[in-house]
Amino acid sequence: MPSNKSVSDAPIVQFTNCRILRDHQLQREDLWVREGKILNPEKLFFDEKGSADVQLDCKDSIIAPGFIDVQINGGFGVDFSLATDDFKSGIDLVSQKILSHGVTSFCPTLVTSPPSVYHQVLPQISVRNGGAHGAGILGAHLEGPFISKEKKGAHPEHCLRTFEAGAFQDLLATYGSLDCVQIVTLAPEMRRSSEVIQELTKRGICVSLGHSVANLSQAEEAVQHGATFITHLFNAMLPFHHRDPGIVGLLTSDKIPAGRRVFYGMISDGIHTNPAALRIAHRAHPKGLVLVTDAIAGMGLAPGRHTLGQQVVEIDGLNTYIAGTKTLSGSVATMDTCVRHFQEATGCSVETALEAASLHPAQLLGIEQRKGTLNYDSDADFLMLNDNLYVQATFIAGEEVWRQDVLDM
């Protein structure tokens, strides 16, 4: 069948012999791509009378949407919470390296820092599409400094702040700008937090609850004002109590506004959350689970001392602690590892594990029309994986940006 280029001169690529994750199922069909978008083959055949210019045999691989990491503090020696002269080259390095983990978009995350750090770093983060240069940047995730002293975790206490009379103005003064900000983590029990949540939500910024001693009614009130996410569930919050389950209770709360879904991040690295806790959360609220790495500068490096913002952290095997303590501080897990561990720990389907790292974070950020699915007209950001969920190749906008070296297999 001759190719009809009446609609576009761009080449059409047909990925064959694969199982595509679409509509929550692995389906044995081909994937068609043109100009960085997933193409509807029926329209191509019947409206354009077109056909593929290139066919690629996927050798029975799984094709899944690219992973989206909404909480990553750095990696490969780069710390997003440090204001350095070469910050841009650092963020470029991380975005390039995480392609091998299947991450095609991410939110560079800053932990609690002095205002001067936000003022220097945030103007250097710009939202951009992914490509051969690296994963796309969706905007910054600011974790703190408006969090609880009691549940500060690895965040430096001297940098913590509260909302004063100006509330939202305090936040603006601290960060300097919200231009590239996608997510803000705060403690909802703080005085005046409700007005801050409303103002952030009005600006299209996702508000996440975390590092908090909030009770359930405070958490529910925050959700009613617009909060939609929970930062690393179970970590840095009050433990579940049957009389007041705290933030954890949002997973089964009946006070969530109609038509709204609360999402929650989980660090599925085998360290931060016991597999039983992972199973409890997943069974209670499967559609809200978002896998995050919470990776720090030491990810991809040898054990030893590294930084997390203002703190020195020590990597011991897969554990990362504030130096000299047993306080966990981020992880060194990669996103593909988290997906595999999640599937193994919960016994969930392959589809469910993959969607927790792709569809759910896209839904959280309200970008599921473009990212996180392989629906027609969405961005052609996808992965080829084997049956054990090891990434074989990463594609952004339909172009191969990373491939597993055969010698490494």
Task: Please check whether residues 277 and 356 belong to one and the same domain.
Answer: yes
The pLDDT of residue 1 is above 50: no
CATH number, residue 160: 3.20.20.140
pLDDT band at 152 (very low <50, low <70, confident <90, very high): very high
Residue 95 · residue 108 · CB < 8 Å: no
Which among 275, 293, 288 has a CA at the least distance from the CA of 345? 275
Residue 182's φ and ψ, nearest 5 degrees, are: -110, -35
Binding site as annotated, residues for substrate: 154, 235-236, 243, 272, 328-330
Range of the domain at 55: 12-64+373-403
Amino acid at residue number 218: Q
Q: What is the mean pLDDT of residues 156-178?
A: 95
pLDDT band at 5 (very low <50, low <70, confident <90, very high): very low
Task: Please check whether residues 193 and 309 belong to one and the same domain.
Answer: yes
The mean of the pLDDT values for the chain is: 95
The pLDDT of residue 301 is above 70: yes
Amino acid at residue number 264: Y
* Number of other CB atoms surrounding residue 333 within 10 Å: 24
Q: Which residue has the tokens 């994963």?
A: 135
C-alpha 110/C-alpha 140 separation (Å) is 8
Task: Please check whether residues 59 and 141 belong to one and the same domain.
Answer: no
Task: Please check whether residues 27 and 174 belong to one and the same domain.
Answer: no
Query: So what's the pLDDT on residue 405?
Result: 82
1 occurs within a structural domain = no
Query: So what's the pLDDT on residue 317?
Result: 84
Model confidence pLDDT, tens digit, residues 39-55: 999 988 888 888 899 99
Residue 350 · residue 389 · CB < 8 Å: yes
Q: What is the mean pLDDT of residues 72-99?
A: 96
pLDDT band at 7 (very low <50, low <70, confident <90, very high): low
Q: Which residue has the tokens 């796309």?
A: 136
Q: What is the mean pLDDT of residues 341-353?
A: 98
Q: What is the mean pLDDT of residues 105-114?
A: 98
Binding site as annotated, residues for Zn(2+): 143, 211, 232
Task: Please check whether residues 56 and 202 belong to one and the same domain.
Answer: no
Task: Please check whether residues 140 and 97 belong to one and the same domain.
Answer: yes
Q: Where are the beta strands (DSSP E) in 257-310?
A: 263-266, 289-291, 304-308
Q: What is the mean pLDDT of residues 311-334?
A: 91
Task: Please check whether residues 59 and 73 belong to one and the same domain.
Answer: no
Query: So what's the pLDDT on residue 45?
Result: 84
Complete edge-to-edge strand list for the sheet that includes strand 304-308: 304-308, 311-316, 319-322
Q: Distance of alpha carbon 202 from its chain centroid, rounded?
A: 22
Task: Please check whether residues 109 and 247 belong to one and the same domain.
Answer: yes
Q: What is the mean pLDDT of residues 307-334?
A: 92
Which among 125, 66, 60 has a CA at the least distance from the CA of 101? 66
Query: So what's the pLDDT on residue 360?
Result: 98
Binding site as annotated, residues: 143, 154, 211, 232, 235-236, 243, 272, 328-330
C-alpha 364/C-alpha 383 separation (Å) is 21
CATH number, residue 47: 2.30.40.10
196 occurs within a structural domain = yes
C-alpha 113/C-alpha 110 separation (Å) is 8
Task: Please check whether residues 361 and 392 belong to one and the same domain.
Answer: no
Angle at 210 between CA 95 and CA 274, to 5 degrees: 80
C-alpha 315/C-alpha 321 separation (Å) is 7
Q: What is the mean pLDDT of residues 30-37?
A: 97
Q: What is the mean pLDDT of residues 339-368?
A: 98
Domain count across the chain: 2
107 occurs within a structural domain = yes
Helices 193-202 and 216-224: crossing angle, nearest 10°? 30
5 occurs within a structural domain = no
Task: Please check whether residues 210 and 228 belong to one and the same domain.
Answer: yes
Residue 236 · residue 185 · CB < 8 Å: no
Model confidence pLDDT, tens digit, residues 199-258: 999 999 999 999 999 999 999 999 999 999 999 999 999 999 999 999 999 999 999 999
pLDDT band at 65 (very low <50, low <70, confident <90, very high): very high
168 occurs within a structural domain = yes
Q: Which residue has the tokens 């009005």?
A: 202
Beta-bridge mates of residue 311: 308
Query: So what's the pLDDT on residue 407?
Result: 47
- pTM for the model: 0.96
Angle at 134 between CA 128 and CA 139, to 5 degrees: 35
Task: Please check whether residues 161 and 293 belong to one and the same domain.
Answer: yes
Give the Å distances, CA to CA, from 5 to 9, 55, 56, 217, 376: 5, 17, 20, 59, 19
73 occurs within a structural domain = yes
- % of the chain with per-residue pLDDT over 90: 91
Model confidence pLDDT, tens digit, residues 254-299: 999 999 999 999 999 999 999 999 999 999 999 999 999 999 999 9
102 occurs within a structural domain = yes
pLDDT band at 321 (very low <50, low <70, confident <90, very high): very high
The pLDDT of residue 6 is above 90: no
98 occurs within a structural domain = yes
Query: So what's the pLDDT on residue 406?
Result: 58
The pLDDT of residue 4 is above 60: no
C-alpha 168/C-alpha 181 separation (Å) is 15
Catalytic residues: 294
Residues 6+ apart with CB under 8 A from 313: 154, 296, 298, 305, 306, 307, 320, 321, 322, 323, 329, 330
Residues 6+ apart with CB under 8 A from 328: 153, 154, 235, 271, 272, 319, 320, 321
Query: So what's the pLDDT on residue 2?
Result: 46
Amino acid at residue number 274: N
The pLDDT of residue 408 is above 80: no
Residues 6+ apart with CB under 8 A from 276: none
Task: Please check whether residues 191 and 240 belong to one and the same domain.
Answer: yes
